[in-house]
Amino acid sequence: MISGRIQGRDKALPHAYKGHRMRLALFQPAIPQNVGACIRLSACFGVELHIIEPTGFQFDDRAMKRAALDYGPLAHMTRHPDWAAFQAARGSGRLILFTTKGAAPLTDFVFQPDDTLLFGSETAGAPEHVHAAADARVFIPIRPDARSLNLSVSAGIGLFEALRQTA
């Protein structure tokens, strides 16, 4: 038994611990715990996290800090004051919107290493102008009688699959 470590984990996603060109973006998130969990995703998988404001909370919120634990210094997070600022700073690569109104199931979608994975607000999703700006719209298949997954759960599922494909 290896104390505190999972044997072979450094071989599973080698780029995840060195940084990657893939990016994770949250459009106007409302729940601080979800942002905290995505800060942990950013830190653990070595991807940039972009927060498109306004958010439904203050960034000094205790709930967000508690969810992020001590991963904040390991994460690369950029806050954008609005959608236009995010678009101007985004750079190259496709914009992949994860949405319940997605056209392609996650299980069929082919990711590229420089994709930006964008997730809408927990309460309102993404507005039409964000849908129009996306290069592709993807959904995570769930039971038909279930409404949707939690934002940070969706981000974790989508990010892991994208990194797995592009490893």
Q: What is the 3-state secondary structure (H, E, C) of the chain?
A: CCCCCCCCHHHHCHHHHCCCCCEEEEECCCCHHHHHHHHHHHHHHCCEEEEECCCCCCCCCHHHHHHHCCCHHHCEEEEECCHHHHHHHCCCCCEEEECCCCCEECCCCCCCCCCEEEECECCCECCHHHHHHCCEEEECCCCCCCCCCCHHHHHHHHHHHHHHHHC
pLDDT, tens digit (0-9, with 9 covering 90-100), for 18-40: 556 899 999 999 999 999 999 99
CATH of 19-166, one of 3.40.1280.10, 2.40.240.10, 1.10.150.530, 3.40.50.300: 3.40.1280.10
How does residue 9 score in pLDDT terms, banded at 50, 70 and 90?
very low
* Residue 154 annotated as part of some ligand binding site: no
Q: What's the whole-number average pLDDT of the chain? A: 87
Specify the pLDDT at position 6. Answer: 38
* Residue 140 annotated as part of some ligand binding site: yes
pTM: 0.87
* Residue 148 annotated as part of some ligand binding site: yes
How does residue 15 score in pLDDT terms, banded at 50, 70 and 90?
low
Q: Where are the domains of the chain?
A: 19-166
Query: Would you say residue 7 has pLDDT above 60?
Result: no
Greatest extent of the chain over all pairs of C-alpha atoms, in Å: 52
